[in-house]
Amino acid sequence: MAATDRMLLYHQSLFEVKIPSLDIQVGYFTQVQGLSAQVDVLEYPEGGRNDYVHKLPTRIKHTNLTLKRGLTTEGALLAWFQKTVVQVEPADMSLTLYDTEGKKVQAWSFAGAYPVKWTGPDANAGGNDMMTESLEIAHQGATAQ
């Protein structure tokens, strides 16, 4: 097998989120959860057949994304969430993974994305943990770029 035919594995480094149609800077994130999709299955028992059940694929269900990062003074995440409460504006969103050298590794596009939950930092005056914020985003589907 030639060196170019080998599958490369990458360390997680940084995720960048862009929403071109909205006039906000969403930024970089250190953690993204929920990159998954699942096909729902309809079980259909056929009359007179007791030895099996037909399993038919129906639709793809996408889980919500959760974006996490260290707390900053930039308030675009909370502003986008608050705007959604008044009038939701689904927007196309892209998520790009960069390696430790800043090179693009993989990118995904999400149609009809909008925030459904914002979580601010837990306050603990005696703690040493970094303060973080997270944003949960619903969407209509993902495609690899």
> Considering the domain boundaries, does residue 139 fall inside one?
yes
Could you give phi then psi for residue 9, rounded to 5 degrees?
-110, 140
Supply the range of the domain harboring residue 70: 10-42+53-144
3-state DSSP helix/strand/coil % of the chain, to nearest 5: 10, 50, 45
Separation of alpha carbons 114 and 79, rounded Å = 12
Indicate whether 47 belongs to any domain.
no
- Chain-wide mean pLDDT for the chain? 84
pLDDT of residue 62: 94
**pLDDT tens digit string along 75-87?**
777 888 888 878 8
Query: In CATH, what number is assigned to the domain containing residue 71?
Result: 2.30.110.20
Asked whether residue 5 is domain-assigned, the answer is no
Cα(143)–Cα(59) distance, integer angstroms: 15
- pLDDT tens, 19-47? 888 777 677 888 899 999 999 999 999 88
> Percent of the chain beyond pLDDT 70?
90
Q: What is the pLDDT of residue 30?
A: 84
Task: With 0.75 as the threshold, say if the pTM is over it.
Answer: yes
74 residue type, one letter: E
Whole-number pLDDT of residue 43: 95
Rounded to an integer, what distance in angstroms lies between the CA atom of residue 69 and that of residue 49? 54
Domain count, the chain: 1
Residue 48: inside a domain: no
**88 within a domain of the structure (yes/no):** yes
The reply to whether 4 falls in a domain is no
- Please list, in sequence order, all residues whose beta carbon lies within 8 angstroms of the beta carbon of residue 97, skipping any fewer than 6 positions away: 10, 12, 13, 14, 15, 104, 105, 106, 107
Helix (H, G, I), strand (E, B) or coil at 99: coil
Strands (E), the chain: 14-18, 27-29, 31-33, 37-44, 54-62, 65-70, 91-98, 104-119, 132-138, 141-144
Task: Compare 13 and 113 and report the one with higher pLDDT.
Answer: 113
Whether residue 115 is contained in a domain is answered as yes
Domain assignment present for residue 3? The answer is: no
Task: Write out pLDDT tens, residues 102-126.
Answer: 888 899 999 999 999 988 887 777 7
